[in-house]
């Protein structure tokens, strides 16, 4: 039972911002939004997470709408190495629930 | 930090043979996870441990699969006997309770059962 909806694929030009959307209309009040990515032939890599405020780190920015029903992951200056499958996951943070459920994600292709 | 270390990286085995996958989590982490990834089913959580104790093994496909964590720095996932449908990439991951669901994955063990 999918908690998030993501487009199956997106393209982005190198050097431009990549904006990856995620819908999570049934998100609960205690659930965080997590983003992971998986570069081909590698293990998934944590990117960022947030509850209701926008978050930024060295990799990306996360914008969560005020009603928390959707979010956008922003890679400000995409490079070829950012080509990967990006997963949006909603889950309570830690506690007794560590069962992250990975959907199909969005395949982001960064083109030269 | 060396990250999560898995071995072997690649294994090809014959149907019916026993397969043992190994994992060394990040030092100090208190959660350890085993995931399996296939084209058909995507990334699935098989089992996870907290402080070396199995917490949830509901994702383990059947009795042929078993996982152990004898100490904080080592875990194994065993398949006995192996079948062709077990062919997949098996990922080990670890996390620290204080970091919530920030989970660090290894590079995976690519298993082919022929």
Task: Please give the C-alpha separations between residue B40 and each of A12, B44, B88, in angstroms, as whole numbers.
Answer: 27, 11, 10
**Percent of the residues in chain A that have a pLDDT greater than 70, as a whole number:** 94
- Chain A residues lying within 8 Å of B101, measured CB to CB: 32, 34, 49, 89, 91, 93-94, 98, 100
**Percent of the residues in chain B that have a pLDDT greater than 90, as a whole number:** 84
Q: What is the pLDDT of residues A61-90, one digit of tens each?
A: 999 999 999 999 999 999 999 999 999 998
CB within 8 Å: A93 and B45:
no
Interatomic CA distance for residues A91 and A34, integer angstroms: 8
Q: Using a CB–CB cutoff of 8 Å, tell me whether A104 touches chain B.
A: yes
* CA nearest neighbour of B27 among B47, B46, B4, B49: B4
Q: What is the 3-state secondary structure (H, E, C) of B75-92?
A: EEEEECCCCHHHCEEEEE
Q: What's the pLDDT band for B13 if we cut at 50, 70, 90?
A: very high
Q: Which of residues 79-98 of A touch B (CB under 8 A)?
A: 89, 91, 93-94, 98
Q: What is the pLDDT of residues A7-22, one digit of tens each?
A: 999 999 999 999 999 9
Q: What is the pLDDT of residues B59-70, one digit of tens each?
A: 998 899 999 999
The number of C-alpha atoms within 13 Å of B89 and in the hemisphere containing its C-beta is 20
**What is the structure's pLDDT at A1?**
46
CB within 8 Å: B108 and A43:
yes
Nearest to B48 among A32, A91, A98 (CB): A98
Residue of chain B minimizing CA distance to A37: B105
Best residue in A33, A37, A98, A99 for a mutation probing chain B (most B CBs within 10 Å): A98
Interatomic CA distance for residues B73 and A37, integer angstroms: 26
């Amino acid at each position: 039972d999918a908690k998030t909806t993501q487009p199956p694929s997106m393209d982005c030009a190198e050097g431009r911002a990549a904006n990856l959307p995620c819908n999570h209309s049934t998100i609960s009040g205690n659930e965080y939004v997590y983003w992971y990515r998986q570069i081909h032939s590698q293990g998934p890599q944590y990117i960022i997470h947030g509850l209701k405020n926008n978050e930024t780190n060295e990799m990306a920015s996360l914008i969560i709408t005020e009603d928390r029903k959707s979010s956008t992951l922003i890679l400000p200056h995409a490079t070829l190495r950012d080509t990967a499958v990006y997963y949006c996951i909603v889950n309570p943070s830690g506690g007794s629930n560590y069962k992250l459920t990975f959907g199909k994600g969005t395949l982001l292709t960064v083109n030269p | 930090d060396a990250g999560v270390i898995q071995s072997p990286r690649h294994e090809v085995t014959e149907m019916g043979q026993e397969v043992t996958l190994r994992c060394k989590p990040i030092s100090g982490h208190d959660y350890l996870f085993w995931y399996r990834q296939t084209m058909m089913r995507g990334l699935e959580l098989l089992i996870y441990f907290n402080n070396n104790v199995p917490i949830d093994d509901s994702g383990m496909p059947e009795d042929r699969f078993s996982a152990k964590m004898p100490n904080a720095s080592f875990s194994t996932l065993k398949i006995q006997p192996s079948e062709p449908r077990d062919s997949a990439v098996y990922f080990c991951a670890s996390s620290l309770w204080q970091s919530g669901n920030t989970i660090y994955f290894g590079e995976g063990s690519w298993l082919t059962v022929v």
